[in-house]
A and B are shown apart, each in its own frame.
Chain A
Amino acid sequence: MLAALFLALGASAYGAPRTSGLWWMPDVASKSGEQIDQLTYFIYYLTGGVFILTQVVYIYFLIRYRARRGVRATYLHGDNRLELVWTAIPTAIFIGLWGYSNHMWWDVIHTESPKDTMEIAVMAYQFGFSFQYPGATGKLGRSDVKLISADNMFGNDPTDPATKEDFQSGVLELAIDKPVRIRLNSRDVIHGFYIPQFRIYQDAVPGRTIDWVWFIPTKIGSYQLACSQLCGSGHYNMKAQIEVVSQAEFDKWYKEKVAAAAGASSGNPPAQMK
């Protein structure tokens, strides 16, 4: 009866339609996110089943075995066969679940991204994000965390000619269905790179470059990149705009940016943009 309350609570919460977005996960917008959702649902049904099963049995016991006059409790210290059963079954389930989840971890994080992946450098700082795109060659220039300074916020390596073509943006503009790899850095403290619709989270750690996060956006739309690691007094509002657009629209944006950067780099070093 006690647990019935949150059963009811949970049921009403989970029963509401997903499209409202009020009670449930935001609609997934990346390829790996779709896989991750399958696992989330698998665990949801697994844990939901275990929860209902254990609570129904438990509540039945609590009613059935309440103190009654003249009825004495059963004198029993345990049962080793039962112990074995309820050790072996959870062990098998947990190890199986680990196998499933670890396989997926390999899939979404550890495998090589496709050949046509675009690499984008992301710099997190108190309190915002900045992005650097590869120039016309399509290859992001080398960078080194040791070179990060006020004048060179991405730590671009001036000996690599590709860095001259790179351009910066304050918006994370992405083409639909085009794989993106993130080269993640932080200039000051640890920040989080979190896009709930993409089901992606990764900390940006000062002093090291994290380059294993990649994803494929699958839905056109506007999203927000949020910092999800407490990073100081401005943390609550540290975010950046993400625009997932069609390939044609992206190409148009990209060409304009490349042209502007080429014009700028003929005379000046790449401009700092927010």
Chain B
Amino acid sequence: MAEILADTFPGEAHVSHAHHPELSFFRKYIWSEDHKTIALQYLFTSLFFLLVGGSLAMGVRFQLAFPGAPVPLIGTLLPSWLVTSAGAFQPGGYNGLVTMHATVMVFLVIMPLLIGVFGNFLIPLKIGAPDMAFPFFNALSYWLFLLSGIVLLSSFFVPAGFPASGWTSYAPLSSHAQYNGTQAGQSCWCVGLFLNGLASIAGAANYITTIINMRAPGMKMFRLPLPVWALFITAILLLLAVPVLSAAAAMLFCDLNFGTSFFSASNYGQPLLWQHLFWFFGHPEVYIMILPAMGLVSEILAVNARKPIFGYKAMVFAMVSIAGLGFIVWGHHMFVSGMNILLSATFSFSTMVIAVPSAIKTFNWMGTVWGGSIRYTTAMCFALAFVSMFVIGGLSGIYMAATPVDLFIHHTYFIVAHIHYVLFGGSLFGVFGAIYFWFPKMFGRMMNETWGKIHFALAFIFFNCTFFPMHNLGLNGMMRRIADPMLYDHLQSSQPINVFCSVSAFALGLSTIPFLVNFFYSIFKGPKAPNNPWRSTTLEWTVPSPPGHGNFETTPTVYHGPYEYSVPGMEEDYLPQNQPAPETARLAAH
């Protein structure tokens, strides 16, 4: 590690290059300690998990549209804990689908895509470092993540199958085998999340150390590109929040298997303790899953609008305040949990306040496109859609923040709509945009723009068709996590909406096909990418695509902030961070 830190000092550039002999296949692709390879390992693994989580969602939507109908094609092949002998989903198996869909998407898709892929790939390249501070821990982090995914998914094969107490795993349902009936699956859930937590902690410690210690000369904190800021703040959140979940998962495992009673109603246990621990992690987790996307999107917007980001410092301060306030809003998941109702009033206040920085960010994004010269690349389309979808997700959050309205819509499809607008329309659209944007740097080839646009149009349309009507289902009082809405008098009239949502969801699932084909085809057959295809200013675009081991031939020096686009007095409309401004350029002090 010492020699890597030494690389960051100017003048001693890249002694490490000389010391690297040709790596064996195993060290190059399997146990690689190169941050770029690890990022790609994360990328392929979490795209695989995206297909798994998406398939589970298809199962959920099939059941809700056609309760009791046999699953086409594969119905009779599925295990008996999941389907009846006729091949239709069992209610308990449906609970397993819901639980695993959410758990997979949160812990094996969104987090690793944002943090594992883009954190690993971008942080060293954007700050001018040859690699992460702790390459060994970085590799360890990936393998722990993969192991956590294997453990979680192995619950498909254990007796009684998937854990079925929701991704929130509220005790004492989750902590007593006689209540949940899925002891083995629930144990897999605990172990999987524990391992996943270790992977996150290792990664987060690495990111923080790298960003603090390994910035290139001249890369002051307020010259960091916004994705790096976002990932830095996210890493701090991870480091403070994830250990709480790991501890809670370990306690739950003990309750479930060794007869302890942390969360049971008897023996001095306390069921609400689980909810407090889970949401103390869970709410920062929500921001862990959106802040990096905000950072990535901010950069895509600035590059493609050919404008400096509007209010760079306001953006940073907004993220810092989201992170700080994020730790005192967890109770808004528990307004009606039986927690003291005075506390509900308090948490309602902090929740209203945390909406302010999100509003600030939205206005700054709009300020960024104002007066721009907008290039509608696929990446830009996803980034622009992110802003609109995030606005919808943010505004629907206000309903829940108002405690009396929460009395009505708590645990209904309104919250399902809300969370998907933030995590799919928000985070996942951000991820798609970022993949289209950084693909040339990752693989040295360009993705096909036409197919990218087709993917975007289909995803955008069917995303909204799937999730917008869920607001209405929620307002009609449709509860979450029920296998058959037709059993309730007040829900029968809204069943056509369920069918519409499901058909749209199937189309949304199919819309990933153009993306996947484009992605894999372009890796091998896409046109070769130049170093800087988008004419960007940040450091990763100053090196070859893909960058070699050690990233930079010589350690770059940084002269100004990350978003100097359309500077007056320059012929080019962008000024890379590692180039001193020409004398004619009239840079603004800000």
Contacts and interface: CB of A to CB of B under 8 A. Distances in A.
A35 B404 contact: yes
B337 A73 contact: no
B355 to A, nearest CB: 5
Contact of A82 (B341, B367, B483, B496): B367
B118 interface: no
B469 interface: yes
Interface string B69-103: 00000000000000000000011101100100000
A66 B370 contact: no
Interface stretch (B33-41, B212-220, B407-415): B407-415
Contact of B348 (A79, A105, A208, A223): A105
Given A20-B493, A21-B493, A224 B488 contact: yes
Contact of A61 (B170, B265, B370): B370
Contacts of A74: 307, 370-372, 566
B469 A51 contact: no
Contacts of A35: 404
B336 A91 contact: no
A74 B375 CA distance: 14
Given A39-B402, A205-B337, A188 B179 contact: yes
A228 B476 contact: no
A24 B310 contact: no
A201 B336 contact: yes
Contacts of B269: 207
Nearest to B166: A230
B306 A73 contact: yes
A62 B410 contact: no
Contacts of A202: 336, 338
B352 A232 contact: no
A228 B479 contact: yes
Contact of B402 (A86, A101, A226, A230): A101
Contact of A207 (B266, B391, B395, B475): B266
A104 interface: yes
Interface string B45-56: 000000000000
B529 interface: no
A189 B488 contact: no
A95 B353 CA distance: 7
Given A43-B398, A65-B371, A97-B402, A199 B388 contact: no
B479 A189 contact: no
Interface stretch (B228-236, B280-288, B442-450, B459-467): B459-467
Interface string A3-41: 101100110010000001111111000001101100110
Interface string A128-139: 000000000000
Contacts of A25: 408, 475-477
A239 B488 contact: yes
B404 A83 contact: no
B352 A235 contact: no
B311 A83 contact: yes
Contacts of A26: 476-477, 490
Contacts of A200: 407-408
B479 A3 contact: no
Contact of B408 (A40, A57, A58): A40
Contact of A233 (B91, B355, B385, B404): B91
7 contacts: A25-B408, A67-B374, A73-B371, A190-B271, A199-B404, A201-B408, A226-B488
User: Which 6 pairs between the two chains have the least Cβ-Cβ distance?
Assistant: A196-B477, A207-B265, A233-B92, A74-B371, A206-B265, A101-B402
Interface of A: 2-3, 5-6, 9-10, 13, 20-26, 32-33, 35-36, 39-40, 43, 46-47, 50-51, 54-55, 57-58, 61-62, 65-68, 71-79, 82-83, 86-87, 90-91, 94-95, 97-98, 100-102, 104-106, 108-110, 126, 145, 188-190, 192, 194, 196-197, 199-208, 210, 212, 222-224, 226-237, 239
Interface of B: 90-92, 94-95, 98, 164-166, 170, 172-173, 176, 179-181, 265-266, 269-272, 305-314, 336-338, 341, 344-345, 348-349, 352-353, 355-356, 359-360, 362-364, 366-367, 369-376, 384-385, 387-388, 391-392, 395-396, 398-399, 401-408, 410-412, 460-461, 464-465, 468-469, 471-472, 475-477, 479-484, 487-490, 493-494, 496-497, 565-568, 573, 588, 590
Given A58-B388, A73-B372, 17 more contacts: A13-B469, A65-B369, A65-B373, A72-B373, A73-B565, A74-B307, A74-B371, A76-B371, A90-B360, A108-B407, A126-B179, A190-B173, A206-B271, A223-B490, A229-B411, A233-B90, A235-B482
